[in-house]
Structure 1
Amino acid sequence: MTRDSPAERTKWIVHSERVLDENRHIRVSMANIELPNGVVFDQYVFRVPRCVMTAVLDDLGENILLIWRHRFIVDQWDWEVPGGYAEPGEDPALAAAREAEEETGWRPKNLEFLFSYQPMIGSADAPQDLYLARGADLVGEPHVDEAEAVRWMPLDEASQRIQRGEIIGAATVMAVLHALAGRATAPPRNP
């Protein structure tokens, strides 16, 4: 018995998709789907504009800049990396730097793209880009409605908070784990 390669497998068929609600932050639709085995069902589909987040590390790479905010959907306070929507036509890297500055008052330096991911690929098209900045300059105060608090948190503490379920946002979890992995593989510093 041979297995079909992924390219040879039959794809799901989208018979129809109707918009239920739409604004500049989300498009919600209902799609009528048929599986390769003939099963037909309706599926909610969420489409969200590109979001950009920045893991801002201090100059030594030991602390990460986080914001404290309440997320009403899960009814939980959470430490998060700064981020938000890239405006239509806006360069994602510039959007990431802009969002970090608006939400923290710190302007990130040496911004580099890490990767893109889809956090809910089974239900949503919600592209997320994660950037890394090494160092930042304090240039002002965060916008009043962006964060309850801004803090440089040691990476080890952030890791412990992830393990305790106190940091739950996907971008922040990935940012902390990426920074810890980079620290683990970095050559030792000269004293």
Structure 2
Amino acid sequence: MEWKTHGERRIHTNEWVNLCLVDVQQPDGHRWEYHVVRLRHLAVAAVVNDRREVLMMWRHRFITDSWAWELPMGLVEDGETPGEAAVREVLEETGWRAGPVKPLVYAEPANGITDSQHHVFRIDGAIYAGPPTERNESDRIEWIPLSEVRGMIDRREIVSSGSLVGLLYLLMDAAMR
């Protein structure tokens, strides 16, 4: 059953987020204005080395006042592809220059309230280029063995949806080989 959209109006907008009221009608005829958060696309990078370790950042998220491990990620800027954004974010946030980039998985983490799209990429063969230029992104950067990731997820040391989707896909892919 498909909902029908009759129109949309923005009630708040800036470079990061647009909050909209969408005039929707359900299949039973009920019609009302539904709050929708419109966001830029997000690029996520699962950087893997030859030792089966993944490059992660330990960071604080003030919104939830929590610390957790995350994959490098960031918004796709105007004029760049999600893959280009993933490469840029890895270099800016970790100081590692990306090797070959390949799409890993696509996700819409909360498509009942937002149009946020997460484009997750696998990057192999990264080379250290120097300290990160985005110094406020993380407290530390480490290579984490993939064999430890499941336990970290279970202990809620990894909680961001973009990181979870990418890491779980990596683990699933490894288990199938």
Is TM more than 0.5 here? Answer: yes
> In the alignment, which residue of structure 2 is the partner of 1:98?
88
Alignment of 1:16-165 (within 5 A): 16-60=7-51, 62-142=52-132, 143-165=134-156
Q: What displacement does 1:47 show?
A: 0.8
Match of 1:132, SS?
Answer: strand
- Cα deviations by residue, 1:5-39 (Å, 9 ceiling, x for unpaired): xxxx4x32223322111111111111232211122
Contact 2:46–2:54 at 8 Å: present in 1 too?
yes
Which deviates more from structure 2 when the two are superposed, residues 121-130 or residues 175-184? 175-184
Match of 1:125, SS?
Answer: coil
Gaps of 5+ in 1: 1-8, 187-191
Q: For 2:40 and 2:27, how far apart are their aligned partners in 1?
A: 29
2:4 to 13, 25, 43: 13
Report the aligned-residue RMSD.
Answer: 1.4
Match of 2:11, SS?
Answer: strand
Q: What displacement does 1:79 show?
A: 0.6
- Please say if 1:178 is aligned against 2:169: yes
The structure number with the bigger radius of gyration is 1
Q: What displacement does 1:118 show?
A: 0.9
Gaps of 5+ in 2: none
Task: Count the aligned residue pairs.
Answer: 176
Which deviates more from structure 2 when the two are superposed, residues 46-55 or residues 172-181? 172-181
Q: For 2:154 and 2:125, how far apart are their aligned partners in 1?
A: 26
- Cα deviations by residue, 1:131-171 (Å, 9 ceiling, x for unpaired): 00123111011121121110111112221111122211112
Match of 1:44, SS?
Answer: strand
- Please say if 1:167 is aligned against 2:174: no
AA partner of residue 49 (structure 2): D
Q: For 2:84 and 2:24, how far apart are their aligned partners in 1?
A: 38
> In the alignment, which residue of structure 2 is the partner of 1:6?
none
AA partner of residue 39 (structure 2): V
AA partner of residue 26 (structure 2): L
TM-score scaled by structure 1? 0.86
Match of 1:88, SS?
Answer: coil
- Cα deviations by residue, 1:91-140 (Å, 9 ceiling, x for unpaired): 22111111011001111212111222111100101111000012311101
The change in CA–CA distance for 1:182 and 1:12 in structure 2 (over 3 A counts) is: closer
> In the alignment, which residue of structure 2 is the partner of 1:3?
none
Aligned-pair identity in percent equals: 34
